[in-house]
Amino acid sequence: MQGSKQFKQALLEGLLLGLRKRGVAASSDIMSFHERKRAIKVAADAALVNARGADATRWSRTMLADSELGHRRRNWGGKVSVKLIRERVLRRRRGHRQKLGTVGSAAVLARAMVRKQTRVLRGIVPGGEGLDDECTLLGETLDYAVCLKAQVDVMQLLVRALQAKNP
């Protein structure tokens, strides 16, 4: 359903409504370029979440929470615990030992590469940090990639329409 025509129409409608709601198209507001860009990005994300369903997937819930926060960085207050620092130091030492030691077998290296790529993927997909299971992470990535492709298509359509309307 994510890449279907109905989904794209719902996404486009939500995007236009979001642009009007956030005052991007209002004549009274004089917004700077960066403010306008941020408002368009937030409107596009909100339209994507609404078209997909707010509670359908983990990434949509995370994006909804981020848009409600206004894309502010969450400040994790408080001191960093001694345990965390110790773990980081030990991890570094372990990494140095592995680098200095002999090269492992191909299977070990491949497994390490997969682990590293999975960690990167968790950082890319919204809400992926809380996913420990690789199977669920791949499912979320699949859903997110399809929805993101539809969002890109809709935004390209809108840009093309605006350029044709106002050359």
Partner 1 sequence: MRHSSPTPDLPAAGGEIPALAPTSAAASTGSGGTFTALLGLPTSQAIELLLPVAEPAPTFPSDPHLVDRAARFSSFASPSPSPPPPPPPASAANKRKAEPAFKGRAAKKGKSTAAGGEDRGSGEDEKPAYVHVRARRGQATDSHSLAERARREKINARMELLKELVPGCSKVSGTALVLDEIINHVQSLQRQVEYLSMRLAAVNPRVDFGGIDNFLTTECGRITGLNCKSGMDLEQVSWPDMGVHGARNLMQLQQQIWHGDLAHPQQPASQWEKREDVHPPVFSSTSSSLFGYDLASSGPQQQPASKLKTEL
Which residues of the chain form contacts with partner 1 (CB under 8 A)?
Answer: 1-5, 8-9, 12-13, 16-17, 20-21, 24-27, 30-34, 36-37, 40-41, 44, 110, 113-114, 117-118, 120-121, 124-125, 134-135, 138-139, 141-142, 144-146, 148-153, 155-166
Residue nearer to partner 1 on the CB measure, 30 or 82 = 30
Q: Tell me the closest approach of the beta carbon of residue 13 to partner 1, in angstroms.
A: 5
Residue 71 or 88: the one with the smaller Cβ distance to partner 1 is: 71
Residue with Cβ nearer partner 1 (9 or 98): 9
Q: Which residue has the tokens 């939500």?
A: 14
**Residues 6 and 150 sit within 8 Å (Cβ to Cβ):** no
**Residue 77, class by beta-carbon neighbours within 10 Å (0-12 exposed, 13-18 middle, 19+ buried)?**
exposed
Q: Please state the closest distance from residue 69 (CB atom) to partner 1, in A.
A: 18
Cβ closest to partner 1, residue 6 vs residue 81: 6
Nearer to partner 1, 100 or 107 (CB): 107
Q: How far is the CB of 79 from partner 1 (least distance, A)?
A: 33
**Which residues fall within 8 angstroms of residue 7, CB to CB, at 6 or more apart?**
1, 51, 52, 150
The answer to whether the beta carbons of residues 15 and 158 sit under 8 Å apart is: yes
Shortest reach from residue 130's CB to partner 1, in Å = 18
**Interatomic CA distance for residues 121 and 134, integer angstroms:** 10
CB of 137 to partner 1, least distance (A): 9
Residue 19: φ, ψ to 5° = -65, -40
Integer-rounded Cα radius of gyration of the chain: 21
Q: Which amino acid is at 92?
A: R
Name the token pair of 143.
């859903």
